[in-house]
């Protein structure tokens, strides 16, 4: 263990017309520093996760963090990007600076504003996270990419429509307890299972309730080295942090296995010296319900092709043997691309600190995080534990 989370902040996710990328960044920066009990002058480095890809006209955003406090002037600030895993890429970059002893305290911010972009342009921007020579003309954009994945999974392992609806219903039910969630409504299994005017098919076998939301929002965490962290009120340590990058073209791999996800989990669990059974809960990347289903298999919860067992048997429910997405996941919480990974780390830290309110998993001791960029291309796993 080389670093801990010692403070965090999180805006509500959703349509934030009164906000801008700059105002969201400034807000969570100040709130995270206050939560950590830190002065801005004590920050050694800043890392900003911002996907953008056309969502914001302002494309040079690292220094927007400095707008929060004049004392941040002249601090090194870098923007990082790795598709939908941009937030975790920023977190892991901060960890590397601390491990290299280049910084003792790192402020990590993730942000995205998506809803001000017209619908067709949103689809084009998101499709940039796929391999355009093969996927650039996919009907339905990125949803179309995962619609093809779902169709292929159904063909290989049978129709999983029931399981996908169960996952959607679980995450929407969990999202009701999340004050930051974009959609705090228990839609129920029947609504998620049936095609209707309010829940039409979007791409392949995926309906609207199988797809994460277009969102605005930001989150921030403060990282500190172990020595510095002991001086803070609370410290949530990284037992492991693994990053695995896979081929971008889906044609070069078996896309139904999420092999990069499986390898990231294998490395993280080995690094942490634990097994999946030791985890109290997992926040995983349910950009689409089919992704969460396949991730059950990739993390080792079920054998290949049997992910449906985990949701059907209630294993991943909030009171199950491994709760998955107690926050409501991307499905209910929302998915502002650059903020998602930072949000996962902030919410996991809240759980382990016993500060998750109605989302709280009782006696949570170890939390797992999986954040994915593209179709299982950028794969980040963190395992967190409270040490103070």
pLDDT per position as a tens digit, 151-192? 999 999 999 999 999 999 999 999 999 999 999 999 999 999
**What percent of the chain is helix, strand and coil (3-state, nearest 5)?**
40, 20, 40
Rounded to 5 degrees, what are φ and ψ at 289? Answer: -60, -30
pLDDT band at 148 (very low <50, low <70, confident <90, very high): very high
pLDDT at position 296 is 98
pTM: 0.98
With pLDDT > 90 as the criterion, what percentage of the chain qualifies? 99
8 Å CB contact between 256 and 294: yes
pLDDT at position 55 is 97
Q: Which residue has the tokens 């502002």?
A: 336
Give the helix/strand (H/E) hosting 240: strand 236-245
Cα-based distances in Å from 239 to 186, 235, 267, 364: 34, 12, 12, 15
8 Å CB contact between 189 and 348: no
List the alpha helices (DSSP H) in 115-217: 119-127, 132-135, 141-157, 161-175, 189-193
* Sign for the pseudo-dihedral over CA of 186, 190, 193, 199: negative
pLDDT band at 322 (very low <50, low <70, confident <90, very high): very high
pLDDT at position 140 is 87
Across all residues in the chain, what is the average pLDDT?
A: 97
pLDDT at position 41 is 98
pLDDT digits (tens, 9 = 90+) for 19-57: 999 999 999 999 999 999 999 999 999 999 999 999 999
Q: Report the alpha-carbon distance of residue 53 to residue 217 in Å, rounded.
A: 16
Q: Report the alpha-carbon distance of residue 60 to residue 41 in Å, rounded.
A: 23
When pLDDT is averaged across residues 269-282 and rounded to a whole number, the result is 98
Rounded to the nearest angstrom, the gap between the alpha carbon of residue 265 and the centroid of all alpha carbons in its chain is 15
Q: Return the SS3 of 36.
A: helix
When pLDDT is averaged across residues 264-276 and rounded to a whole number, the result is 98
Q: Report the alpha-carbon distance of residue 338 to residue 378 in Å, rounded.
A: 13
Tokens of 20: 């801008």
pLDDT band at 79 (very low <50, low <70, confident <90, very high): very high
Cα-based distances in Å from 229 to 36, 39, 109, 343: 10, 15, 19, 20
Tokens of 90: 């920023």
pLDDT at position 1 is 81
pLDDT at position 386 is 97
When pLDDT is averaged across residues 334-352 and rounded to a whole number, the result is 98
With pLDDT > 70 as the criterion, what percentage of the chain qualifies? 100
CA dihedral 73, 3, 338, 140 (to 10 degrees): 170
Judged against a pLDDT cut of 90, whether residue 82 lies above it is answered with yes
- The DSSP call for residue 249 is S
- Other Cβ atoms within 10 Å of 174 Cβ, number: 25
- Other Cβ atoms within 10 Å of 357 Cβ, number: 10
pLDDT digits (tens, 9 = 90+) for 363-378: 999 999 999 999 999 9
Judged against a pLDDT cut of 90, whether residue 351 lies above it is answered with yes
Q: Return the SS3 of 27.
A: helix
Domain spanning 3-117+214-229: CATH superfamily: Thiolase/Chalcone synthase (3.40.47.10)
Q: Report the alpha-carbon distance of residue 167 to residue 156 in Å, rounded.
A: 20
Longest dimension (CA), the chain: 58
């Amino acid at each position: 263990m080389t670093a801990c989370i010692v403070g965090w902040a999180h805006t509500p996710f959703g349509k934030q017309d009164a906000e801008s990328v700059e105002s969201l960044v400034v807000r969570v920066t100040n709130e995270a520093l206050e939560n950590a009990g830190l002065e801005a002058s004590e920050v050694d480095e800043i890392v900003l996760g911002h996907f953008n890809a056309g969502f914001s006209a302002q494309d040079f955003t690292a220094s927007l963090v400095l707008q929060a406090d004049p004392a941040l002037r002249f601090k090194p600030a870098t923007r990082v990007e790795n598709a939908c895993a941009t937030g975790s890429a920023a977190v892991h970059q901060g960890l590397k600076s601390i491990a290299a002893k280049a910084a003792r305290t790192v402020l990590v911010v993730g942000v995205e504003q998506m809803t001000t972009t017209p619908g067709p342009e949103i689809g084009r921007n998101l499709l940039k996270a796929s391999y355009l020579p093969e996927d650039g003309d996919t009907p339905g954009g990125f949803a179309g990419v995962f619609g093809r994945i779902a169709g292929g999974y159904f063909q290989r392992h049978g129709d999983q429509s029931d399981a996908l609806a169960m996952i959607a219903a679980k995450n929407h039910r969990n999202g009701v307890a999340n004050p930051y969630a974009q959609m705090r409504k228990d839609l129920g299994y029947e609504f998620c299972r049936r095609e209707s005017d309010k829940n039409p098919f979007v791409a392949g076998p995926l309906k609207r309730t199988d797809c994460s939301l277009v969102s605005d929002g930001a989150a921030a965490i403060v990282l500190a080295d172990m020595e510095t962290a002991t001086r803070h009120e609370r410290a949530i340590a990284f037992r492991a942090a693994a990053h695995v990058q896979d081929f971008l073209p889906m044609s070069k791999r078996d896309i139904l296995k999420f092999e990069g996800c499986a390898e990231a989990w294998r490395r993280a669990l080995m690094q942490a010296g634990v097994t999946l059974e030791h985890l109290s809960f997992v926040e995983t990347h349910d950009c689409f319900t089919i992704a969460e289903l396949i991730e059950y298999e990739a993390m080792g919860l079920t054998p290949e092709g049997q992910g449906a067992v985990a949701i059907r048997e209630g294993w991943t429910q909030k009171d199950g043997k491994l709760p998955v997405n107690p926050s409501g996941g991307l499905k209910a919480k929302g998915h502002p691309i650059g903020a998602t990974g930072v949000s996962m780390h902030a919410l996991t830290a809240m759980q382990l600190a016993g500060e998750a309110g109605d989302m709280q998993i009782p006696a949570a001791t170890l939390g797992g995080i999986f954040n994915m960029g593209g179709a299982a291309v950028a794969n980040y796993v963190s395992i967190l534990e409270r040490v103070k």
